[in-house]
Amino acid sequence: MVRRSLIILVAAVALALASLASAAPRLIDVNDDFYAPKNPPARNFSTGPSFRWSNGGGSITPHNIRQNDKLFRSGALTRGPINFTINASAGSFRYYCELHGTPDGQGMAGTVKVRPIAVPDLLGEIEVQWADSNTNTGSRFDVRYRVDNRRWKTWKNDTRSFHGAFGHKDNPVNYSPSRHNYKIKVRSERRTVGKHSDFSPVLSLG
């Protein structure tokens, strides 16, 4: 019985580690007056670099990468090489070149998106993760959920936590995946009011 419990424990830990394993960052080329792809496919949260913008230098005009509310910025405009990487927390991050784009998505602009992940824990509950100690695109997080097609509700607001047990002690709901579908989305923010990403793609449970 003890041996069987240890096997289950090891399997669960392996699953959790696999879910959080670092994946190669999505690459975005910085070309003269456009990014390629400017809106790469959304990725699930994982530890380590998430997106990398690069060029070899020699641009005709200078470029940079700036998130709308400066949750990330590559630095000053430059004609030289760009090799800029972010470790992104969950959210949808609109970005642009400060010379050739605008915050509303015109010109040289785009969006990168990161979805929170779910990791079953040792008690059979669901641990939802949206950041870790190495992410650099926010220090506070707003987490919302919805049951079936009901209205969105707040689970956590301005939390410093990187994860939470969904349904633990019926918080925020009595989690019953056999009866309901649950959706969770997250946005990242700085301590300054109004400095935040848009909400992430949805994580579906149940």
Q: Are the C-beta atoms of residues 190 and 196 closer than 8 Å to each other? A: yes
Say how many CA atoms lie within 13 Å of 41 toward its Cβ.
3
Q: What is the DSSP letter of 177?
A: T
- 12-66 pLDDT, tens digit per residue, is 443 444 445 678 999 999 999 999 999 999 999 999 999 999 998 778 899 999 9
* Domain 118-205 CATH class label: mainly beta
Residue 11 is predicted with a pLDDT of 35
Comparing 203 with 57, the larger pLDDT belongs to 203
Confidence tier at 137 by pLDDT (50, 70, 90): very high
Residue 185 pLDDT > 90, yes or no? yes
Comparing 178 with 206, the larger pLDDT belongs to 178
Domain extent listing, the chain? 26-113, 118-205
Domains 26-113 and 118-205 share a fold: yes
Q: Where are the alpha helices (DSSP H) in the chain?
A: 2-20
Residue 119 is predicted with a pLDDT of 87
Handedness of CA 34, 35, 36, 41 (dihedral sign): negative
Q: What is the DSSP letter of 192?
A: S
Residue 27 is predicted with a pLDDT of 97
Q: Domain 26-113 is of which CATH architecture? A: Sandwich (2.60)
